[in-house]
Amino acid sequence: MARRALAVLSLLAAAAPAAAQVALPDPSLLAGMTDWVDSVVVADSVHAVPEQWRGLRVGPADAPPPADLADLPDSLRARGREPRLRAPVLAVLAAMARAAARDGVAIRVRSGYRDPDTQRRLFETRLAQGRTFDDIAWGVAPPGYSEHMLGTTMDFDLGGQGAEGPVYAWLARNAWKFGLVESYPEATAGVFPWEPWHWRYHGPIPPVELTEAGLPRAVLAALGLVPGSAARDEAARPAGGAEAARLEPDDEAGGAANN
């Protein structure tokens, strides 16, 4: 019996591969893994992502835009802006804007979907000005790390008053009811700059029925417009000081609102 056991063990040992025969991973695969794990390519150089951004990658730096992006109607845009959001989120935004209008607050959006290439260009411009990557990353999300690439995140026009104004006060009290969460609140100011304008939708994304014009039907319903009618967009503009709730581009945060 012992002799038979030794023979079996000898056969198993002979069949086992030697340690020197273990294949190493493909170097190109390792390079791809390195690129995914908290480093980005900007201006033809690989940059390690600063500590506050590590583990917060939203998606690959070459991610395509969501297929259901929709343009915001004029009544929900800040002056001079053309933001887009995923259609289901736009429907939620329209309902929230209508609720705010009943309280005399005008909701306008300055920025919605933003692709990773835009984030990369923001870095390249600032690097060309002599700033360091880590310094830029304090107020600008690296490519692949910005919530704006999801199409569910929006920067609101706070009327030049920041967190002291009525728009932010209304959002702080009510936005959660519509599934919106402030991404960079005052509590995180030691890690990220406080961005009271930056909110992300965290609710469910239901299927959307689009009208012939490409707008979600729920948006038109929330705004009180009937698809195919002659009602003007201005008729749906919330009351309460439209001009007070508008800003020229980049006035809200000195051009640093790029997370």
pLDDT along the chain (259 residues), means of 10: 48 45 47 62 92 91 92 95 95 96 98 95 96 95 95 96 96 95 92 95 72 57 48 33 30 52
Q: Write down the pLDDT at residue 61.
A: 85
Q: Write down the pLDDT at residue 222.
A: 57
Q: Write down the pLDDT at residue 259.
A: 84
Question: What H or E segment, with its residue span, contains residue 156?
Answer: strand 153-156
Q: Write down the pLDDT at residue 233.
A: 35
Q: Write down the pLDDT at residue 211.
A: 58
The highest-level CATH class for domain 72-113+151-252 is: alpha beta
Q: Write down the pLDDT at residue 258.
A: 76
- What is the CA 209 to chain-centroid distance, rounded? 23
Q: Write down the pLDDT at residue 228.
A: 40
Q: Write down the pLDDT at residue 124.
A: 97
Q: Write down the pLDDT at residue 162.
A: 94
Q: Where are the domains of the chain?
A: 72-113+151-252, 115-148
